[in-house]
Amino acid sequence: MEINGIYTIEITDVNENGAGFGKIDGMAVFVPGLLTGETAEVSITSIEKNYAMGECVRRLTDSPDRIEPVCPSASVCGGCTLAHITYEAENRIKQNSVKSAFRRAGLPFEMVEDTVHGEQRTGYRNKLGVHPSESGFGLYRSSTNEAIPFDGCAICPDVMSGIVKFTNENPHPQADELFIRTVSDGGVTVSIDTDEDISDYKTALMREFPEVRNVLAIRNGRTGGVIRDEICSVSMEFSTEAFRQVNSEAFALLLNLVHTMAESKPFRYGADLYCGSGIIGLTLAKRFPESQFYGIEINTDAVRDAKKNAAANGIGNIRFFCGDAASFREKIPKKELPQLVVVDPPRAGLSPSMRKGLLALMPETVIYVSCNPQTLARDVKTLSEQYDVMRVVPVNMFPMTRHCECVVMLERRV
């Protein structure tokens, strides 16, 4: 095999990045855009130690899972790497990505369940961020910080694309970024990162789009604004800059999974670690009013929001603390250490001290919400020293993209 050589390949699998996998002369070759069952002529673009990368020159056969992407920028912006694949096949790919991570970690991969997913594959995102270029605000080209001309975004509501196009076609402040956020009743908040006056832009935007409820200027990374929404019958208020799950429909499915897993064993005390603005802990506290919950989060703004949300909903059986999640034992009274712990860490997963702390505490049940199958498998492998894996459920929070959420239920071994 040689660089720029043309070879025929048969694709036997597809990874979460939308790259087809096959072998040429015994070496693994990944080719973006090809699907399982397809054969193609490919040009080899790079050869690494254990694999090579190729580029499709000509498809010889097409997979029944292949579709025409609904987004004209799908092959350019790099966000929707699975836009050319049916929804059914996409959900299989995401299930397989979790299985693969568990298999490599020596975990029971065969118990990974079918991917839970919402009905919406397009228009689901409640947040869009675009960046300036000579042609106006746009999305980044794949693997670059170069904004491409904006032609809409299929995974966002139409109103978001309309706002970006209107901004690009009309006078607006010079800005570093533009953010658009929606809530479940259709209301829209626009934030623009600029030092210029935004009053004329705000007036024009709100006149053109009745859905726009506020237009805010970002100064020193903040707007001072809030987003209000309802999730699983809990009214939530977030700082405009705070993290919020971008797919409300799929997130409700994930929360229902967490609640179902929490029901498996009775508990008096529970903890929501990495709690953010408190939504997981608040919905659990509402679902289990006889139990006492604790939420711990390192971001002070998020903790402030969580406390406000608890008060606004009249949920009195949860307390929130600011601190590193690994310090949870210092925050919770010794007589109230939790039998149920929910962890929802960032992509890096649990820190070594967090894993050590959980094994020392040994709650009866651990529910792990993850956005990274690789770090999830690593952490579950460590916890499996004292815990049995009861359920592994992928959740498609980000249709058409490579990202996959997963919820794992662990029970302490007797």
Q: What is the pLDDT of residue 414?
A: 83
The pair phi, psi for residue 125, each rounded to 5°, is -70, 135
Residue in the block written with tokens 């939790």: 338
CATH number of the domain to which 364 belongs: 3.40.50.150
Q: What is the pLDDT of residue 322?
A: 92
Q: Is the predicted pLDDT of residue 155 greater than 80, yes or no?
A: yes
- 125 or 324: whose pLDDT is higher? 125
| One domain for residues 262 and 397 | yes
Q: Is the predicted pLDDT of residue 75 greater than 80, yes or no?
A: no
Residue 110: DSSP 8-state: G
Range 26-35 average pLDDT: 95
- 329 or 116: whose pLDDT is higher? 116
SS3 178: strand
| One domain for residues 286 and 401 | yes
Range 395-412 average pLDDT: 96
SS3 97: helix
- Among candidate residues 202, 227, 252, the one where a domain is terminated: 227
Q: What is the pLDDT of residue 337?
A: 92
| One domain for residues 322 and 374 | yes
pLDDT mean across residues, the chain:
94
Residues with Cβ within 8 Å of residue 220, at least 6 apart in sequence: none
Record the pTM. Answer: 0.93
| One domain for residues 155 and 135 | yes
167-213 tens-digit pLDDT: 999 999 999 999 999 999 999 999 999 999 999 999 999 999 999 99
Q: Is the predicted pLDDT of residue 147 greater than 80, yes or no?
A: yes
The pair phi, psi for residue 157, each rounded to 5°, is -60, 150
Max Cα separation, the chain? Answer: 68
Count of the separate structural domains present in the chain: 3
Task: Tell whether 72 is covered by a domain.
Answer: no
283-305 tens-digit pLDDT: 999 999 999 999 999 998 899 99
Task: Provide the domain limits for residue 351.
Answer: 92-120+243-412
312-346 tens-digit pLDDT: 999 999 999 998 888 888 888 888 999 999 999 99
Most confident of 65-74, 236-245, 334-343: 334-343
Q: Which long-range contacts (CB under 8 A, 24 or more apart) does 345-352 make?
A: 345/273, 345/274, 345/370, 345/375, 346/274, 346/371, 347/371, 347/372, 347/375, 348/372, 348/375, 349/375, 349/376, 349/378, 349/379, 350/375, 350/379, 351/326
257-274 tens-digit pLDDT: 999 999 999 999 999 999
348-391 tens-digit pLDDT: 999 999 999 999 999 999 999 999 999 999 999 999 999 999 99
Task: Tell whether 75 is covered by a domain.
Answer: no
| One domain for residues 299 and 382 | yes
| One domain for residues 189 and 272 | no
Residues with Cβ within 8 Å of residue 290, at least 6 apart in sequence: 317
Task: Tell whether 198 is covered by a domain.
Answer: yes
Task: Tell whether 65 is covered by a domain.
Answer: no
Range 123-147 average pLDDT: 92
End-to-end CA distance of the chain: 54
